[in-house]
A and B are shown apart, each in its own frame.
Chain A
């Protein structure tokens, strides 16, 4: 449909296995520039593994994976990719750092060795905090914020290097429903106003599908990839990947065959 040049993530026949159990098998997935793609799938369907492969943290046994047209292990412009992982297990809540300091980390990779934050970099940090409406908290210790606020700060950290693609792995785990909705609205705004490409992994299928433009269903491989509207109006898919996912994995494997 779209020209190849605008494909940001390209996954072809990807297989990844821990010892003898394949987690991802012959997986194909493209993420086009400007998309807001929601990735759904039951527990153990390989969502986090796929994200780790895309980020180059683990190496798949077979298949091809490209970021911005270059093979992931040769890709080196990581400032183009922002990543926000699950809040719960990521950092020690008592860590003695301010919100400002945490967001600055997003620039460290770009700055490289022997270079320090300049005034211009500090402005970037404040701008990113403004985008997520957390600029008033710049001097607060990160540990004193609520879960939702911390997650916004981590979005700011991912945004500060001005990425083209933002990957989020279960960002709303442990956050109350109101904060989660505000969070999704922020993502939608970033996608629509700034043209940021988003890849969002979430359990919270019901809420998420109201915000994303596309949905991909994953269980070892991609079983569906279409618009959010197609996903919601397809009764099989929305019930399979909807609220009660864990109980029907086996049923789904039948259908998939």
Chain B
């Protein structure tokens, strides 16, 4: 059942890509969640769709675009979108979350126009929306490997700065941390991770991979460091199950990944409930 993944290139690619995004998406997601920015992932995934649609439209007119993977245009749009979100969050100070619906709807609006101008929906677009086991080409895999390496190195280097900033922005500024640059760098990384994950998870569900494993990790972790370990483990379980079942049952992997992430979350909540009840019993029995 598993060896088939090593016989075919495309399956091997999907597997390696899955392991990588199952690692980096939830780990970056830890910071997103504690900064209360979970929905930013959603806005950025939709703006990535705009980029992809724009590329597909251009490819209709200029043959040269067919040579390149639309995901690069998606990445460019996602990075630009993340810069806009950062800017809007500053402009709307007390209503920071307003940046998300603004970018999300602008992104979807434009995407719909681009899609109608190009030939409308096709199977290619379908795989971007819901992910696909067969979609990870060699170039895609290379891009994902490079992005994963960048993300892992930067997470390691800036761990303490991002930790401080997400816990207490004011205090971090007083200790001399350059908050603005660190925020910007973080937003760009989020945009890149989303663009990298889309091949497997799909645009509509990519934000789930950044937030659900983190929500589960919160039920287990006893420190901030442990959050990353649990989020990565839960991310791996979800992504690998998604790829295996997606292939064997011919399902879109994005859906399976999210369903597994939800099951893990429910089990985590249940475990905490059981622990609490048994602790109360112990107290009562004394």
- Give Cα A78 to B173, complex, Å: 10
Q: Which of B34, B158, B177 contacts A96 (CB 8 A)?
A: B34
Considering only residues 6-34 of chain B, those with a C-beta below 8 Å from chain A are 34
B interface SS class: helix
CB-based contact B160/A139 at 8 Å: no
13 interchain pairs (CB within 8 A)? A57-B170, A85-B170, A91-B168, A92-B34, A94-B218, A95-B34, A97-B224, A105-B160, A108-B177, A116-B160, A139-B222, A139-B223, A157-B171
CB-based contact B163/A105 at 8 Å: yes
- A sample of 13 more A-B contacts (CB under 8 A), given A96-B223, A105-B163, is A76-B176, A83-B171, A83-B174, A90-B168, A92-B34, A96-B34, A96-B224, A104-B160, A113-B158, A116-B160, A139-B222, A141-B222, A141-B223
Contacts of A102 in B (CB 8 A): 167
- Give Cα A56 to B36, complex, Å: 27
- A98 sits at the interface (CB 8 A): yes
Least CB distance, A137 to chain B, in whole angstroms: 13
- B164 sits at the interface (CB 8 A): yes
CB-based contact B167/A57 at 8 Å: no
What residues make up the interface of A, taking CB atoms closer than 8 Å to B? 55-57, 76, 78-79, 81, 83, 85, 90-92, 94-98, 100-102, 104-106, 108-111, 113-114, 116-117, 139, 141, 157, 161
- Give Cα A97 to B167, complex, Å: 9
- Give Cα A83 to B168, complex, Å: 12
Contacts of B34 in A (CB 8 A): 92, 95-96
Q: Which of B163, B176, B221 contacts A109 (CB 8 A)?
A: B176
- Report, nearest first, the 6 A-B pairs whose CB atoms are least far apart: A109-B175, A97-B224, A98-B223, A105-B164, A109-B176, A108-B160
- Give Cα A158 to B245, complex, Å: 51
CB-based contact B174/A81 at 8 Å: yes
- Give Cα A90 to B34, complex, Å: 14
- B225 sits at the interface (CB 8 A): yes
Contacts of A90 in B (CB 8 A): 168, 170-171
- Give Cα A100 to B223, complex, Å: 9
Considering only residues 50-87 of chain B, those with a C-beta below 8 Å from chain A are none
Contacts of A81 in B (CB 8 A): 174
CB-based contact A78/B176 at 8 Å: yes
Least CB distance, B79 to chain A, in whole angstroms: 23
Taken residue by residue from 89 to 127, chain B's Cβ proximity to chain A (1 for < 8 Å, 0 otherwise) reads as 000000000000000000000000000000000000000
Least CB distance, B272 to chain A, in whole angstroms: 13
CB-based contact B174/A114 at 8 Å: no
Q: Which of A78, A105, A111 contacts B167 (CB 8 A)?
A: A105
> Nearest CB to that of A78 among chain B residues?
B176
> Nearest CB to that of B219 among chain A residues?
A96
Contacts of A100 in B (CB 8 A): 223
- Give Cα A57 to B173, complex, Å: 8
CB-based contact B161/A108 at 8 Å: yes
> Nearest CB to that of A79 among chain B residues?
B175
- Give Cα A97 to B166, complex, Å: 11
- Give Cα A161 to B164, complex, Å: 15
Contacts of A116 in B (CB 8 A): 160
> Nearest CB to that of B177 among chain A residues?
A109
- Give Cα A85 to B167, complex, Å: 14
- Give Cα A84 to B280, complex, Å: 36
CB-based contact A113/B161 at 8 Å: yes
Contacts of B174 in A (CB 8 A): 55-57, 78, 81, 83, 109
CB-based contact B171/A105 at 8 Å: yes
- B49 sits at the interface (CB 8 A): no
Contacts of A106 in B (CB 8 A): 175
Contacts known (A111-B160, A139-B222); A105 close to B227, Cβ less than 8 A? no
- Give Cα A136 to B173, complex, Å: 29
Considering only residues 190-245 of chain B, those with a C-beta below 8 Å from chain A are 218, 221-225, 227
Least CB distance, B211 to chain A, in whole angstroms: 14
Q: Which of B160, B167, B173, B177 contacts A95 (CB 8 A)?
A: B167
